Chain A
Amino acid sequence: MKGNWWFIAMLLFVVTAPVFGEQVIPPADQGKMYLSIVGDRNDRAYYNLNGMFLNDKNLREFKKGVHFNNVTSDSAMYKARYQENVKGLPTVRLQNAKGIVLYEAYGSNLPTTAMGMYIRLELASILNDNANWQYATWGERFGNCPWGKCRPKQEQEEEPVEKLPEPKSDPVVEPEPDGPNILLLVVLGLVAGVVGLGAGVLSQLRKEHTERS
C-alpha cells in the first residue's frame, strides 16, 4: 500500500514538474529580427494595430519568429531610444539583428489589412535573407551550413503575456480569414509575371524600333 502512494506521488511530480520549471537552455537566437510596435497607448490606431498582430494567424506566427517589442510613447524606453528616430505614431518597424531597418511604416502609411502588413513584413524578411547570404562569411558559407546558406535558427519562443491598454470604445479590428501562406506566393508570382511580361514587351518594342530605324 505504501509503495502505491509512493508511485502516485512520483507520478504527480513527473506530471506537474514541467508546469513549474522555467529554467531554459540558452537559445541561439542572436540572428533573430526585431519587430517593434511603437505608439500612444490612448490612440485607437495603436490599439487596432496591436489587435491586428494578436488576431491574425499569419502575423501571430511571424511574431513568434522575431524579437517582439511593444513600446508606448509615455515610457522611458521610448524617450531614450525611439522618440528621436520614429517619424510618426503608431509605427511598425522591422529590423535585422544588426539593427538595420528592413521595413518601417507609420501613421497613415500603415497597411490597413493584416494580410497587407504580413506581405510587407515577409517581403522585407526575404530581402534580409538575401542580404545575409551576401554578407555571410566564408566559414558560414562553406563550414557547417548546408547548401552554404546560413539562416539564423528561428527559435519558437513562448509568447509573453501581453496586456493591452483598454480603449475608450470597442476596437475596430477587421475580421480577416486566416489565409494560408500560399497567398503570398501567388501575389509574388503575379508581380513577377507582370514585371516579366512588361520587360518582354518593352524589349520587343525596342527591338522593332531598332530594326525600323
Chain B
Amino acid sequence: MKSFMSVVLMGAVISTILGCSKPCKIYPPEKPVVNLPLELRQQNNWVGSGGQFDGSCVWATMISLLRWQGQYEIADYIRRNRAGGEFLGSVSSKLTELNIRFAVAENHDEEFLAWAIRTRRGAAVGIKKGKHMVAVVDIVGDEVCILDNRNVNSYIWIDKDKFFRDWHASGGWAFTPIYSPVSPLP
C-alpha cells in the first residue's frame, strides 16, 4: 500500500513538472495515416484564371499534400494561379519555380512511397498510364489507400499489386513536398 502511494505521489510530481493535469484522450492509430480533413482535400474542379472550370489533377493533389504539411499560403497561391493539364516531367521545374521544397522518385522506387508514408507526408503518384495523378495516403499490408481528386469525399483502398502495376506502367513517378506534416492525434 505504501509503495502504491509512493507511485501515485511520484506520478503526481512528474505530471506537475510536465504540466499534464489530467489524462489525455487516446485515439486509435489513424487510417489512413495521411488523414486530411474533408474541408482541406482539394477537388479537381476549381475555376481557373480564364473563368472556367479548369482544375488539374497534378495541382489538386499537390494542394492537398501542401495543406497536410501546413503550407496553406503556397497551396492557396497554386489554387489561384495554376490550372489545366500538366506533364509529369515538367512538374519538377514548376515546383522549383514556386520555391517549393520537394522530393521526387522518377525511377519506379517503391521505397520512396514507403518512406512517404513512414514520414506521414503522403505522395503524389501518376497512374492510368500517366494520364491521372492521385495522392497515396497509406500503405497497409496488401492495400494502398489513395485520395483521388475526382472525388475527395472518401478514401479508396485498392489492392497493392494492382496499384503498383498501374504505377509502374505509368512511369513509376512520384513526388511530395518536404515540410512538417500535421501532428498525429494524441
A, B: real partners: yes
B residues near A (Cβ < 8 Å) are 17-22, 24-25, 27, 37-40, 67, 70-73, 92, 95-96, 99-104, 112, 115-116, 118-120, 178-186
Residues in B neighbouring A71, C-beta threshold 8 A: 182
A63-80 with Cβ < 8 A to chain B: 67-71, 75-77, 79-80
A residues near B (Cβ < 8 Å) are 20-30, 34, 36, 67-71, 75-77, 79-81, 84-85, 87, 93, 95, 97-105, 109, 120, 123-124, 127, 157-158, 160, 163
Are A103 and B19 interface neighbours, CB within 8 A?
yes
Across the interface, B24 reaches (CB within 8 A) one of A70, A79, A101, A120, namely: A101
Interface hub of B19, B101, B116, B181 (most chain A Cβ within 10 A): B19
Are A103 and B20 interface neighbours, CB within 8 A?
yes
Are A22 and B182 interface neighbours, CB within 8 A?
no
Across the interface, A101 reaches (CB within 8 A) one of B20, B73, B179, B180, namely: B20
Given contacts A36-B183, A81-B182, are A160 and B71 in contact (CB under 8 A)? yes
Are B103 and A29 interface neighbours, CB within 8 A?
no
Residues in B neighbouring A24, C-beta threshold 8 A: 101-103, 178
Are B186 and A27 interface neighbours, CB within 8 A?
no
Are B115 and A80 interface neighbours, CB within 8 A?
no
CB distance from B15 to the nearest CB of A (A): 11
Residues in A neighbouring B185, C-beta threshold 8 A: 81, 85, 99
In the docked arrangement, what's the CA distance between A3 and B102, Å?
36
Are A105 and B19 interface neighbours, CB within 8 A?
yes
Residues in B neighbouring A68, C-beta threshold 8 A: 180
Are B25 and A67 interface neighbours, CB within 8 A?
no
Are B103 and A25 interface neighbours, CB within 8 A?
yes
Are A23 and B96 interface neighbours, CB within 8 A?
yes
> In this complex, what residue of A is CB-closest to B18?
A103
Residues in B neighbouring A36, C-beta threshold 8 A: 183
Are A123 and B17 interface neighbours, CB within 8 A?
yes
Are A21 and B96 interface neighbours, CB within 8 A?
yes
Across the interface, A76 reaches (CB within 8 A) one of B21, B39, B184, namely: B39
Residues in A neighbouring B116, C-beta threshold 8 A: 26
Interface hub of A26, A36, A160 (most chain B Cβ within 10 A): A26
Across the interface, A23 reaches (CB within 8 A) one of B27, B103, B181, namely: B103
Given contacts A22-B102, A77-B40, A163-B73, are A98 and B184 in contact (CB under 8 A)? yes
In the docked arrangement, what's the CA distance between A93 and B181, Å?
15
Are A67 and B186 interface neighbours, CB within 8 A?
no
Are B39 and A80 interface neighbours, CB within 8 A?
yes
CB distance from A161 to the nearest CB of B (A): 8
Residues in B neighbouring A26, C-beta threshold 8 A: 103, 112, 115-116, 119, 178
Across the interface, B19 reaches (CB within 8 A) one of A67, A104, A163, namely: A104
Residues in B neighbouring A102, C-beta threshold 8 A: 18
